[in-house]
Chains A and B, each alone.
Chain A
Amino acid sequence: MIKKIHHVGIVVRDIEQAFAFYRDTLGLPVHKMDTVVDQDVKAALLTLGHSEIELLEPLSTTSGIGRFLERRGEGIHHLCFETDDVAAELERVKAQGVEVIDQAPRPGLAGMICFLHPRATHGVLVEFAQP
């Protein structure tokens, strides 16, 4: 079951520069920051009430995030729903014929995660996360 919006992912050129607005101007505390090696991305999670803002900086132009930045520029990238059972949620949507990117959950910055294909949700890239 979907419990809440865990975070909204925003692709930026430079996380430190983006901190000037999201951390310093809006006052959102950074509670996690890491490099996700298999995705070639530097990511930070900033607390926003019951949800979070995730800033994503590509470390190469060939990664998924890097290609997004090249093609569309900085901006909103994905929406992540929190669930208490990411594997069950993924199996449920797959059984319904929903197009997915990840066939099985994998570790991410927000816990165990998986992505659905944006074609399945009217152009929105949706992630499920089990923190």
Chain B
Amino acid sequence: MFKALDLDHLAVATRDLDAAINTYRENFGLEAERWGEVPALGIRNAVLPVGEAFIELITPLTGEGPVARFLEERGEGMYLISIAVDDLDAAMADLRERGVRVMGEPVPIEGGRMAFVHPSSTHGVLLQLVQRGPAAE
């Protein structure tokens, strides 16, 4: 068994990261705490803390890959919901047993490990499950 702990973050796909950072500052008073490139995911991102969660603004590094395709097909908008769980391996096993379409195996990210659940199992939402832990900090 696993437990969903909290909303970890929301990722928002944008065409112009700097313009989006300005918009979130001006409209909502949110500040980018850190930003950079995540070559493994083919994106540039900025992290904007809000309460216990954060908004991650992302933009593709090239014209290829899932985020570029998302922008092409749907335009700018919310890309994924990330939920923090207490035990990612238990979650993967539990979800698979229930017939939920989990995509691949957990991969390391900044401050933890994550895996994706396919939108066909979540009513159209690209869902990320993340286990935060000191080991990966």
Chain A contact residues, CB within 8 Å of chain B: 1-5, 8, 10-13, 17-18, 21, 25-28, 48-51, 53, 72-76, 79, 81-82, 93, 96, 98, 116, 118, 120-124, 126
Rounded to whole angstroms, the CA-CA distance of A81 and B121 in the bound complex is: 26
Rounded to whole angstroms, the CA-CA distance of A124 and B27 in the bound complex is: 12
Interface of chain A, helix or strand or loop or mixed?
A: mixed
Chain B contact residues, CB within 8 Å of chain A: 3-7, 10, 12, 14-15, 19-20, 23-24, 26-30, 50-53, 55, 74-78, 81, 83-84, 94-95, 98, 100, 119, 121-125
> A114 to chain B: closest CB distance in Å?
13
With A25-B100, A74-B124, A116-B27 already in contact, the answer to whether A124 and B78 are too (CB < 8 A) is yes
Does A123 lie within 8 Å of B10, measured CB to CB? Answer: no
Does B52 lie within 8 Å of A50, measured CB to CB? Answer: yes
Does B6 lie within 8 Å of A49, measured CB to CB? Answer: yes
Rounded to whole angstroms, the CA-CA distance of A50 and B52 in the bound complex is: 7
Does B3 lie within 8 Å of A27, measured CB to CB? Answer: yes
Does B76 lie within 8 Å of A4, measured CB to CB? Answer: no
Rounded to whole angstroms, the CA-CA distance of A121 and B75 in the bound complex is: 12
With A26-B4, A48-B4 already in contact, the answer to whether A122 and B26 are too (CB < 8 A) is no
Given A8-B78, A74-B125, A75-B125: 11 more A-B contacts, CB < 8 Å: A4-B51, A5-B10, A11-B124, A49-B7, A50-B51, A51-B51, A73-B124, A120-B27, A121-B23, A122-B15, A122-B77
With A8-B81, A98-B27, A122-B23 already in contact, the answer to whether A79 and B52 are too (CB < 8 A) is no
Does A27 lie within 8 Å of B12, measured CB to CB? Answer: no
With A81-B50, A123-B76, A124-B77 already in contact, the answer to whether A74 and B123 are too (CB < 8 A) is yes
> B121 to chain A: closest CB distance in Å?
7
A53: chain B residues within 8 A (beta carbon): 81
> B18 to chain A: closest CB distance in Å?
12
> B98 to chain A: closest CB distance in Å?
6
